[in-house]
């Protein structure tokens, strides 16, 4: 094993000579080589100035069986592993490589540029007896690792952005129906119009909220009651509603607006398409360590196969709400916590959400 004192922490290598020569073990085991290569990719996921860069340099040094190896980022900051080399010579060489974008050979040092994506990302410096082709190959591997890290980060960012975008969805169908009703009530019943306008303000304020990612179930239930108050004005006696929530689940943290799309879906697919009145029941209760929320309508129902297609995102544009909620729940709580849809033709629809009452990292 290496003694810690022989491993310079970061930055330019020190002038101090190690007390004894490096024990370098050449390995020709392909399994070892593959394992090292994979580890280097993981080490470099945050780039050449990330926390894993020094580990990556150490692994590459052993793989190439050289006395010293350094990785420099675009600013010229270097992490070094192995026997100390002249720091001035190294940093001068790194500068030249970064500015000239060409490989430099100054025995015993070799430095090559590392390209990731469509630009320069840094440089690889090797000290010791080594073939130029091996250095080029190592630099290419480092470049691929850096690029992969960048792509993963951008996928993460895109996913976050998508989750936020999914949350902000407001149904235009509902908004204009509500505004039409309010506008008509302005003459016939100004008090109710004013009351509904306040509900509408609450509805939009909640739907457009730009706070954190999570809220309490208490707020979610309040939001659907506001939504249902507006829908009652639109649908009149056709919409009957029962909401029941147990106080012990009011403090449960959930992602914003997971409930409203389910209730909206129940209204659109359970109540609106048929002539008579319909009943929507929303409940929230504790079941051991889980909180179970169900949204049920006694409407037209659907073929269970169609419900599966909807959850898989193949349900057409008017049922993306359900698929979005399903995706967000799985993203936050893991694959077991998606929506459960119980339905059959002419048998109504029941959508069940099950979330842990306490989940690390999920806080309003």
Question: Which of 55, 148, 150, 232 touches another protein by CB under 8 A?
Answer: 232
Distance CA 20, CA 171 (A): 72
Check: CB of residue 110 under 8 Å from CB of residue 125: yes
Instruction: Give the contact letters, 169-198, x = binds to another protein (CB under 8 A), - = no.
Output: ----------------------------xx
Question: Which of 190, 251, 273, 334 touches another protein by CB under 8 A?
Answer: 251
Distance CA 158, CA 7 (A): 38
202 vs 342, beta carbon nearer another protein: 202
CB of 242 to another protein, least distance (A): 6
Q: Which residues contact 51 (CB under 8 A, 6 or more apart)?
A: none
Check: CB of residue 196 under 8 Å from CB of residue 177: no
- How many CB atoms are closer than 10 A to CB 205? 11
Q: Is 250 in the site for another protein (CB under 8 A)?
A: yes
Q: Which residues contact 282 (CB under 8 A, 6 or more apart)?
A: 221, 224, 241, 242, 243, 244, 245, 259, 263, 293, 294, 295, 296
Check: CB of residue 306 under 8 Å from CB of residue 318: no
CB of 264 to another protein, least distance (A): 17
CB of 248 to another protein, least distance (A): 4
Q: Is 164 in the site for another protein (CB under 8 A)?
A: no
Q: Please give the distance of CA 33 from its chain centroid, rounded to a whole number.
A: 32
63 vs 245, beta carbon nearer another protein: 245
Question: Which of 245, 271, 302, 341 touches another protein by CB under 8 A?
Answer: 245
152 vs 248, beta carbon nearer another protein: 248
Distance CA 364, CA 362 (A): 7
Q: Is 246 in the site for another protein (CB under 8 A)?
A: yes
Structure-block tokens of residue 192: 């109710």
Instruction: Give the contact letters, 93-132, x = binds to another protein (CB under 8 A), - = no.
Output: ----------------------------------------
Structure-block tokens of residue 157: 């960012």
Between residue 197 and residue 226, which ones bind another protein under the rule CB under 8 A? Answer: 197-198, 201, 205, 209, 211, 216, 218, 221-222, 225
- Please give the residue ranges that form the binding site for another protein (CB under 8 A): 197-198, 201, 205, 209, 211, 216, 218, 221-222, 225, 228-229, 232, 239-251
């Amino acid at each position: 094993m290496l003694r810690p004192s022989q491993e310079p922490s970061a930055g330019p290598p020190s002038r101090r000579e190690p007390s004894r020569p490096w024990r370098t073990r050449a390995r020709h085991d392909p399994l070892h080589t593959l394992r090292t290569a994979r580890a280097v990719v993981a080490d470099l996921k945050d780039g050449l100035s990330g926390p894993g860069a020094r580990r990556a340099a150490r692994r590459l040094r052993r793989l190439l069986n050289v006395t010293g190896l350094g990785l420099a980022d675009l600013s010229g900051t270097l992490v070094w592993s192995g026997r100390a080399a002249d720091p001035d010579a190294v940093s001068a060489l790194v500068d030249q490589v970064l500015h000239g974008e060409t490989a430099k050979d100054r025995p015993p040092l070799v430095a090559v540029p590392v390209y990731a994506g469509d630009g320069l990302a840094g440089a690889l410096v090797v000290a010791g007896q080594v073939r130029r082709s091996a250095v080029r190959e190592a630099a290419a591997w480092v470049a691929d690792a850096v690029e992969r890290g960048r792509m993963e980060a951008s996928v993460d960012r895109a996913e976050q952005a998508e989750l936020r975008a999914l949350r902000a969805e407001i149904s235009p169908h509902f908004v204009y129906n509500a505004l039409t009703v309010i506008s008509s009530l302005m003459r016939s019943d100004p008090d109710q119009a004013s009351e509904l306008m306040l509900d509408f303000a609450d509805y939009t304020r909640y739907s457009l909220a730009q706070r954190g990612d999570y809220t309490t179930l208490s707020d979610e239930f309040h939001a659907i009651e506001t939504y249902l108050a507006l829908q009652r004005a639109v649908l009149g006696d056709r919409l009957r509603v029962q909401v029941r929530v147990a106080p012990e689940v009011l403090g449960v943290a959930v992602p914003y607006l997971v409930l409203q799309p389910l209730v909206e879906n129940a209204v659109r697919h359970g109540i609106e398409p048929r002539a008579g009145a319909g009943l929507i029941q929303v409940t929230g209760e504790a079941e051991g360590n889980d909180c179970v929320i169900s949204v049920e309508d006694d409407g037209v129902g659907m073929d269970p196969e169609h419900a599966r297609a909807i959850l898989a995102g193949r349900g057409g544009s008017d049922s993306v709400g359900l698929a979005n909620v399903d995706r967000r729940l799985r993203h936050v709580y893991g694959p077991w916590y998606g929506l459960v849809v119980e339905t059959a033709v002419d048998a109504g629809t029941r959508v069940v959400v099950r979330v842990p009452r306490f989940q690390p990292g999920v806080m309003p």
